Amino acid sequence: MSGCRGLGHVWGGWRRGPGVRAAREAAGFGTEAGHQLRRRGSRKRSGPLGDQPFPGLLQLENLSREGLVDVLRAAVVDQKGKPGELTLFSVLPELSQSLGLRDRELQVVQASGKETSGLVLLSSCPQTASRLQKFFIHSRRAQRPTATYCAVTDGIPASSEGNIQVALKLEHIDGIDLVIPVKSPSRKDLQEGVKRTLSHFHVVARGSGCALVQLQPLTVFPSQLQVHLVLQLCPVLGDHTYSARVGTVLGQRFLLPAESTKPQRQVLDEALLRHLHLTPAQAAQLPLHLHLHCLHLPGMRPREAPMKLLAPLPPYFSRTLQCLGLHQQ
């Protein structure tokens, strides 16, 4: 699989549009630079937060174009083959040069959502990129998961494991693109952009009214995992877009109408804030705790064994797990 690179860099807000919202701890399996970055990040311990509530976050104002290229280069978790505005796409030419690819252009093959941390898969070989894209398409058609996410949820799913199936559509509401569930979609709905979506979930750990959940999407739709967890009445911690759809009365949670519920900063109860050592103002800036942890890929050659890329959790995510007593098994 010549020309393929996996970035274990922990992203927040990479996008085609203006600006990278935040770049988080680089983690490079198989690269000395990555090991050095992990060792440097591991010196920070969990505790009272003070002025830096989310360790590992790099603010955009502190990141130069050259700095972003350095962080991306150090974050390569696997490398096969020869070695305007501040966005991931805008610095791909510099990253290509930095990796010694000369005139070979990098393109994004697979990545998580714009606020989600974790792996970004790049390729400098058009044939490899095409092969991987076909692999992902065929895997989805066969309902074979290729990506595994980790999420911390505000609330605990009623079942320890199961599938979430719902039809979703994208609507432009008050100037914002929002994902809306659709009950019993008609054939016309499906022709006009409504898509049936499916995710598998498994609760790994529970504690302090929260859960560590493993998620495997079997379809692709914007914000699919966030909306699926909201429908389980357990929004992702740091979800400042869809968590407002979960209301509470006398300790009982219920769903508010998606079409008429505007996005707002996530509101956490006092007990959870105490566990997290956060003030309400800090909680309003909480990063989305949804992380693309693992990608399953085919072997480099037809008869070779499949390969697996892993990106470790960012520091703020690991700290949250420690504060909540959520331990991976």
Question: What's the pLDDT at 210?
Answer: 97
Query: Using N-to-C axis directions, what is the helix angle for 32-41 and 65-74, rounded to 10°?
Result: 100
Residue 93, token pair as written in the block: 């030419």
Distance CA 234, CA 244 (A): 11
For residue 11, the Cα-to-chain-centroid distance in whole angstroms is 8
Three-state DSSP state, 173: strand
Handedness of CA 37, 38, 42, 44 (dihedral sign): positive
Question: What's the pLDDT at 152?
Answer: 98
Residue 49, token pair as written in the block: 């937060």
Distance CA 178, CA 185 (A): 18
Please say whether the beta carbons of 14 and 28 come within 8 A. no
Question: What's the pLDDT at 90?
Answer: 72
Three-state DSSP state, 128: helix
Question: What's the pLDDT at 114?
Answer: 78
What letter does residue 256 receive in the DSSP assignment?
P
Residue 247, token pair as written in the block: 């209301």
Question: What's the pLDDT at 302?
Answer: 76
Three-state DSSP state, 314: coil
Domains and CATH numbers, the chain: 4-46+54-146+298-311 (no CATH), 149-283 (3.30.2350.10)
Residues of the chain with pLDDT under 70: 1-53, 55-63, 65, 68-88, 328-329
List 163's β-bridge partners, or say none.
Answer: 200
Distance CA 49, CA 260 (A): 36
What's the start-to-end Cα distance of the chain, in Å?
A: 32
Handedness of CA 295, 298, 299, 300 (dihedral sign): negative
Distance CA 50, CA 322 (A): 17
List 247's β-bridge partners, or say none.
Answer: 254
Cβ atoms within 10 Å of 198's Cβ, excluding its own: 17
Burial class of residue 46 (count of CB atoms within 10 Å of its CB; 0-12, 13-18, 19+): middle
64-123 pLDDT, tens digit per residue, is 767 766 665 565 545 554 445 566 677 777 778 787 877 788 888 887 777 899 998 888
